[in-house]
Structure 1
């Protein structure tokens, strides 16, 4: 099986996505860029609880299937467009998590409300413009919404998180959902205090060292 290790990483990320309640049913999709520039991506209409590593599809950045018997995710254009525009991104997690989806409907940007928001996601989480699912237009809007940050909320749709490896991408998606919940709850209580700009800049600088240290824990 081609890219066996990468396929297993994507499959395990799918299971973590379901375990973390970041999606329901077959919605959401995950991909990983290989060291030689190809993409391992979840198939369309995936039942993540029954999927195997062999079900994951290998394509190039133009969508040509290199290995796999199933059709790649319907959102593959979005994955390809992110990889083309963000050379630092090696993994992408697209979720339909509840609180992030609430903000996708209300069109509310998440400011840097907590330290982990700033460290993992960047200087806030933008809401990208709406376009029909699976289209190149949507893919371009998501890239625009991400900018140089590690997450964006997709208007009336869901959310996308990215990372330089799969572990970071998954953690970013978990922190995004946590941040969305905190932001919504704070708004209901009446006041949202945002971190100072200079502290956000410092926290973003700390991110890599923190995550490298965190990854060393067994």
Structure 2
């Protein structure tokens, strides 16, 4: 089986995003790339996360050509493939429909860095990409153009794309985006003034310190 370990990691991550409410039913999608082989593992289309096995995860090249797997890949395959081709610092993508973050796009409100955790995860605010029909490369182009060198972007009337050098990191980004959106919404509902944000410089600095000092060494 090609990319067996990565496929197993995708399955575990799917259980995490479903269990935490970042997606409902069969929504959202996950991918991770093996740069040496030029192949990626991506979730299949229309399957519940708690029913997935490693064999259900589809392996393609970075242009969307299927290399291994019997399932139909996610309809967002062109989006994942484009992003992974264009930014070699990104090795994993978690696309969610998390409710608070998605709700922000309905009122055209980007997520400001009101919590230090968002600085750690994204490096600043989370911008909104203009509405683009899903399932096509154009969405990846628009998303990446809006995201620039950050680690997350909101998709207008759609959801969130979170990225990282590892799947664990991309999942962390997705979780922090939703958590910050929720806290921001709560603060706004208090009607006690506009929630204060970190400065762009501070948020970017937090991200750099996080990369160096947070967590345990791998291996």
User: Same fold per TM (> 0.5)?
Assistant: yes
State yes or no: 1:209 paired with 2:212: yes
Q: Distance in 2 between matches of 1:109 and 1:41?
A: 28
Q: Which residue in 1 is equivalent to 2:153?
A: 152
Q: Distance in 1 between matches of 2:123 and 2:72?
A: 33
Change (3 A) 1:138 1:93: same
Q: Distance in 2 between matches of 1:89 and 1:56?
A: 19
Q: Which residue in 1 is equivalent to 2:86?
A: 85
Q: Distance in 2 between matches of 1:89 and 1:53?
A: 22
Unaligned residue ranges in structure 1 (runs of 5+): none
Over 4 Å off, 4+ runs: none
Q: Distance in 2 between matches of 1:33 and 1:100?
A: 26
Q: CA-to-partner distance for each residue in 1:16-55, whole Å, 9 max, x for gaps?
A: 1111110001000000011322110001112111110110
User: How many angstroms does 1:132 deviate by?
Assistant: 1.0
What secondary structure, in the 3-state scheme, does the structure 1 residue paired with 2:50 have? coil
Worse-matched range after superposition: 114-123 or 49-58 = 114-123
Q: CA-to-partner distance for each residue in 1:75-95, whole Å, 9 max, x for gaps?
A: 011101111221100110000
Q: CA-to-partner distance for each residue in 1:186-214, whole Å, 9 max, x for gaps?
A: 22223110112332232121121234xx1
State yes or no: 1:21 paired with 2:38: no
Q: Distance in 2 between matches of 1:132 and 1:158?
A: 12
Q: Which residue in 2 is equivalent to 1:107?
A: 108
Q: Distance in 2 between matches of 1:111 and 1:195?
A: 8
Q: Which residue in 2 is equivalent to 1:194?
A: 197
Contact 2:184 2:195 in 1 (8 A): yes
Q: Which residue in 2 is equivalent to 1:64?
A: 65
Q: Distance in 1 between matches of 2:106 and 2:47?
A: 25
Q: Which residue in 2 is equivalent to 1:37?
A: 38
Normalising to structure 2: TM-score of the pair? 0.94
Cα RMSD after superposing both structures: 1.4
Q: Which residue in 1 is equivalent to 2:52?
A: 51
Q: Which residue in 2 is equivalent to 1:4?
A: 4
Change (3 A) 1:101 1:197: closer
Q: Which residue in 1 is equivalent to 2:128?
A: 127
User: How many angstroms does 1:216 deviate by?
Assistant: 4.8
Q: Distance in 1 between matches of 2:28 and 2:84?
A: 17
Q: CA-to-partner distance for each residue in 1:104-149, whole Å, 9 max, x for gaps?
A: 2111111111111111111210011111111222121111122111
Q: Which residue in 1 is equivalent to 2:137?
A: 136
